[in-house]
């Protein structure tokens, strides 16, 4: 017998849960790409994509995954031999650095390990060691999906300004866009990289690059950018096809229209951020409770340095893999593997897993996932203190009370049974 027969829940950090409305919007016949409604729809996508990143500057779309978006950013900003400083707080930061190196960019990686966000003192030393300003850009992940470490982008910008270093600031928001607070223009970010399959709630296949006018000018005339990667026609083209350097990704665009409506025009971006913050706090409360009686531990100790889209968790090896296997086979819940935390295939790699809470995820889904994890630990005899799921429930109940602005709203949101009618 298995209790997995029902609607499966893939709580892996991308591809994330795709809303039924997005799937329905994608389920239609091919449109005319030469004129008509598709053109009008796409014209209205650009301002909304900019609202999503809180920027008034430029945006380009690519048919591709996150790696494609990295390469797009790299190819437009750098020339061969230019210098970049990458601040790595997990596998994805390292990966962006490898993408740069592969293009012939002279890439220095400052690695902050797998359990913390960047250390501004070390960054300051690296910037001061470059008095001639040879570094063209500083690049990092906002949230690294492997470690779940989040970096304080505004503080980094403040440091760069304080040191007086003119390098461009490039941020990978693939995991955090539409999940964690991110304000591209207010925070002085020059290049922001995103992809469709995380907070944007779409299948993989669209890469997004937002760029400042400063980045555009700095990259002009570079020798890495081929016609297909060039962000100029994609952002400023006068012909429809130029925005995609060929046929538009029509069905992803239908889905994107709906996901942007849901985020920006229905729930509201600030509320989307608040929902992710509350769900993340619930996950942390559960893990901390369990951890009081066993090996369960949050990978990132400092709550301020934890992303709101995904949580990386530790257990004794091989319990993380046993738990993941049980959750999928017995309960229909797919958890993420520990990525980049230990040598793949090594014993240590079986001591990590990840729970995604990004995009189309609500309170009952997170509570369901946490209760399932608790059931799995019970079934597998993995030592833990009881009450994690209850602690999470308390956090979410509290969040609805705190979010209600007026006494009347607080009453309406109060978790008490009201007599009907
Ligand atoms: C998912 C992810 C990537 C990689 O995206 P792919 O679509 O797998 O190429 C890069 N950076 C971050 C932070 C991610 O979460």
The domain limits of the chain are 9-14+268-404, 31-266
Ligand 1 atom at shortest distance from the alpha carbon of 141:
13
Q: How far is CA 295 from CA 32, 71, 187, 291, 418, in A?
A: 57, 39, 38, 6, 41
pLDDT of residue 152: 98
Of 128, 144, 129, 139, residue with least CA distance to 101: 139
* Partners of 135 in beta bridges: 83
Domain 9-14+268-404 has CATH 3.30.2130.10: no
Kindly report, residue by residue over 243-266, the tens digit of the pLDDT. Answer: 999 999 999 999 999 999 999 999
pTM value surpassing 0.85:
yes
Q: Return d(Cα 247, Cα 254) in angstroms, integer.
A: 14
Ligand 1 centroid, distance to 151 Cα (angstroms): 16
pLDDT of residue 420: 45
Q: Do residues 177 and 209 make contact, with C-beta atoms less than 8 angstroms apart?
A: no
Q: Do residues 269 and 52 make contact, with C-beta atoms less than 8 angstroms apart?
A: yes
Q: Is 23 helix (H, G, I), strand (E, B) or coil?
A: helix
Residue nearest to atom 15 of ligand 1 (CA): 175
Domains 9-14+268-404 and 31-266 share a fold: no
pLDDT of residue 418: 43
Ligand 1 atom at shortest distance from the alpha carbon of 143:
13
Q: Return d(Cα 387, Cα 190) in angstroms, integer.
A: 45
| DSSP strands (E only) in 31-185 | 58-63, 83-88, 106-111, 135-141, 168-172
Classify domain 31-266 by CATH architecture.
Answer: 3-Layer(aba) Sandwich (3.40)
Specify the pairing of strand 352-356 against strand 310-314.
antiparallel
As given in the structure block, the two tokens for residue 260 are: 């942007």
Probe ligand 1: pick from 140, 175, 191, 205, max atoms within 8 Å of CB? 175
As given in the structure block, the two tokens for residue 165 are: 């270093």
Probe ligand 1: pick from 171, 174, 198, 209, max atoms within 8 Å of CB? 174
Ligand 1 centroid, distance to 64 Cα (angstroms): 11
Identify the residues whose C-beta falls under 6 Å from ligand 1.
14, 65-67, 92, 141, 144-145, 172, 174-175, 195, 198, 204
pLDDT of residue 402: 84
Q: Return d(Cα 174, Cα 135) in angstroms, integer.
A: 24
What string of DSSP letters covers 74-118? Answer: HHHH--TT-EEEEEESSHHHHHHHHHHHHTT-EEEEEE--SSS--
| pLDDT beneath 50, residues of the chain | 415-421
User: CA torsion sign, 413 to 418 to 420 to 421?
Assistant: negative
């Amino acid at each position: 017998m298995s209790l997995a027969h029902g609607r499966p829940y893939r709580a892996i950090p991308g591809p994330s849960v795709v809303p039924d409305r997005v799937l329905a919007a994608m389920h239609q016949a091919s449109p005319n790409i030469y004129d008509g409604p598709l053109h009008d729809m796409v014209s209205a996508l650009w301002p909304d994509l900019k609202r999503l990143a809180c920027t008034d500057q430029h945006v380009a779309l690519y048919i591709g995954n996150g790696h494609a978006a990295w390469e797009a950013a790299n190819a437009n900003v750098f020339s061969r031999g230019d210098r970049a400083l990458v601040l790595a707080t997990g596998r994805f930061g390292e990966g962006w650095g490898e993408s740069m190196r592969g293009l012939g960019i002279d890439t220095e990686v400052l690695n902050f390990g797998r359990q913390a966000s960047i250390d501004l003192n070390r960054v300051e030393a690296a910037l001061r060691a470059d008095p001639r300003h040879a570094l063209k850009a500083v690049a990092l992940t906002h949230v690294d999906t492997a470690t779940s470490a989040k970096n304080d982008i505004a503080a980094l910008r403040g440091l760069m300004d304080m040191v007086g270093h003119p390098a461009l600031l490039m941020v990978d928001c693939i995991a955090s866009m539409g999940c964690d607070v991110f304000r591209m223009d207010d925070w002085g970010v020059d290049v922001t990289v995103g992809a469709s399959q995380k907070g944007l709630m779409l299948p993989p296949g669209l890469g997004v690059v937002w760029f400042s006018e400063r980045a555009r000018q700095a990259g002009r005339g570079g020798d890495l950018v081929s016609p297909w990667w060039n962000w100029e026609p994609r952002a400023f083209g006068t012909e429809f096809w130029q925005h995609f350097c060929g046929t538009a990704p029509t069905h992803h665009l239908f889905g994107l229209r709906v996901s942007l409506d849901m985020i920006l025009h229905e729930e509201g971006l600030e509320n989307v951020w608040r929902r992710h913050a509350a769900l993340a706090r619930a996950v942390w409360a559960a893990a901390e409770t369990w951890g009081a009686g066993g090996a369960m531990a949050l990978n990132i100790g400092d709550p301020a340095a934890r992303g709101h889209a995904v949580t990386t968790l530790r257990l004794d090896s091989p319990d993380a893999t046993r738990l993941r296997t049980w959750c999928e086979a017995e309960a229909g819940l797919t958890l993420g593997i520990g990525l980049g935390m230990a040598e793949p295939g090594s014993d240590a790699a079986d001591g990590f897993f990840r729970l995604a809470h990004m995009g189309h995820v609500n309170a009952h889904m997170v509570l369901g996932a946490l209760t399932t994890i608790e059931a799995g630990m019970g079934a597998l005899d993995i030592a833990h203190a009881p009450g994690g799921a209850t602690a999470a429930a308390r956090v979410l109940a509290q969040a609805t009370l705190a979010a209600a602005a007026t006494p009347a709203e607080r009453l309406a949101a109060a978790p008490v049974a009201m007599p009907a009618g």
